[in-house]
Amino acid sequence: MRRAFNGRLLLALVTCYLVISINYGVRYTYALLAPEMMSCLSFSNQDLGAMVSCFLLGFVLTSFVTGPLIDRWGAKRTIFAVFPLLGMGSILVGMTSSTVDGILSSFIAGVGASAGWSPVMVWSQKLCPERRGLMVGIMETGTKLCPFLIALAIPRIIPLFSWRGVWSLLGVMALLSILLVSVAHEPKAGGQDLKVKETRSASMGVIFRDRCTWLVGISYALSAFAIMVHATFYKAYLSRELMMGLDVSTLLYGLMSFSGFIGALSLPTLSDRIGRRPLIIACNAILVASLLGFLSSSSILGLTLLTVLIGVDFGAKWPLYAAFVKDLFDWEVAGRATALAGFFSGLGSLLAPYVGGLLADLCGSYKMSYTVGVAAGAIAIALIVAVPTGRLRKPYVA
């Protein structure tokens, strides 16, 4: 019986990891295929940015729906009902012939992507309630591993199937993953510690009026904006402005995802010892320094080092900010506070591709987009520094 349970546990964890990996693989394939898509479809940077923004818009808006669905139906049924839209949308992106087609297809994919994050986090924690932090950290690595593998595969797939084939392949993978979801095990209850107690009827209003909410939330939005400008146009910047070959620029993008994999495992774990705030400040400082470096460096060695550094921020930022919210608020309101922080992050991520693309088109260069990202990252640091230290608790306190 114990062996059977362990088998069910392993299958469920693999399913969760596959779902979140495919989700983020689709999300970052826009950047990986940016030069090919813009050349084939005669898209501007603004057109491509609009597609990415609409993907994120679908993700952000539908997240307000998937949250209640998880509580009512469970994570597994929520993924089963919503996640197929990611596969359908990806296939439609591969059939795009105009900006309108691309925007609508991306929005559909974004709606499906909303079931590839929160439900996975809830499901994985239910499976291992005594090691929830470890599970969330492992799931976070999936958001970096799949883009890295896709970056390695794209130079070999495009000559065979073109960029449209890449999108179709990702869509089919998303649809086939539903088969695993249908047979994987989800416990009906994850333990008493996963339940949120209703102690204050106006708790959301209390959080919304809290000064710390706005300091952390706006910092999160600006930091997300800065990294998403880079993540969206990084490959295009290397190939179109620095005139690097597509193979080199694709491999460097994959290196960023791989170093993000390491950052996602190491820094959130280290934050349990030294606190979340110092590491969030350090991550944003790395982000600002790296973006400045990209504006001034053109050597392969320098760009490789900068790619590794910004990849660490890319991997560690999201779990660090999410955990920092718990350091500021009690468990009774931690869920609401985290959801609001996630909204700020989604807003910054949503605006970045469009604003960055618009600035690149207006200025004829990606340098202004990167400069705005530097300013956003610097303000993000200042806002975290302004968080009152008296509000912080020990990171390991439940």
Instruction: Examine the domain organization and report whether 170 and 208 are in the same domain.
Output: no
Q: Tell whether 145 and 18 lie within a shared domain.
A: yes
Whose structure tokens read 């956003």?
376
Task: Show the tokens assigned to 294.
Answer: 């990209």
Report yes or no on 194 lying in a domain.
no
Q: Give the predicted TM-score (pTM) of the model.
A: 0.70
Domain that holds residue 9: 1-186
pLDDT block averages, 10 residues each, the chain of length 398: 64 93 89 86 84 86 76 84 96 92 94 86 73 72 80 84 92 95 78 40 62 90 92 78 71 78 83 84 94 83 87 86 74 58 81 85 86 95 87 47
pLDDT on residue 326: 67
Among the candidates 124, 155, 186, a domain finishes at 186
| Residue 17 CA from chain centroid, whole number | 14
376 and 290 housed in the same domain: yes
Report the amino acid identity of residue 312: V
Beta carbons within 8 Å of 346's beta carbon, 6+ residues apart: 56, 59, 60, 63, 224
Cα separation, 304 vs 370, whole angstroms: 17
Query: Is the same domain home to 61 and 147?
Result: yes
173/304 same-domain check: no
Would residue 191 count as lying in a domain? no
State the Cα–Cα distance between residues 38 and 235, nearest whole angstrom.
12
Cα–Cα dist 252/31, whole Å: 12
With vertex at residue 288, the alpha carbon angle to CA 284 and CA 291, rounded to the nearest 5 degrees, is 135
Q: CATH number for the domain including 225?
A: 1.20.1250.20
Looking up tokens 């993700």, which residue turns up?
Answer: 59
| Domain's final residue, options 133, 155, 186 | 186
Answer with the one of 145, 160, 186 that is the final residue of a domain. 186
* DSSP type of residue 98: S
Give the type of residue at 144. Answer: K
CA max distance for the chain: 65
**Is residue 197, in this structure, part of any structural domain at all?**
no
Q: How many other C-beta atoms can be found within 10 angstroms of the C-beta atom of residue 187? A: 15
93 sits in which H/E element: helix 84-94
> How far is it, in rounded angstroms, from Cα 298 to Cα 375?
21
- Considering the domain architecture, whether residues 259 and 233 belong to the same structural domain is answered as yes
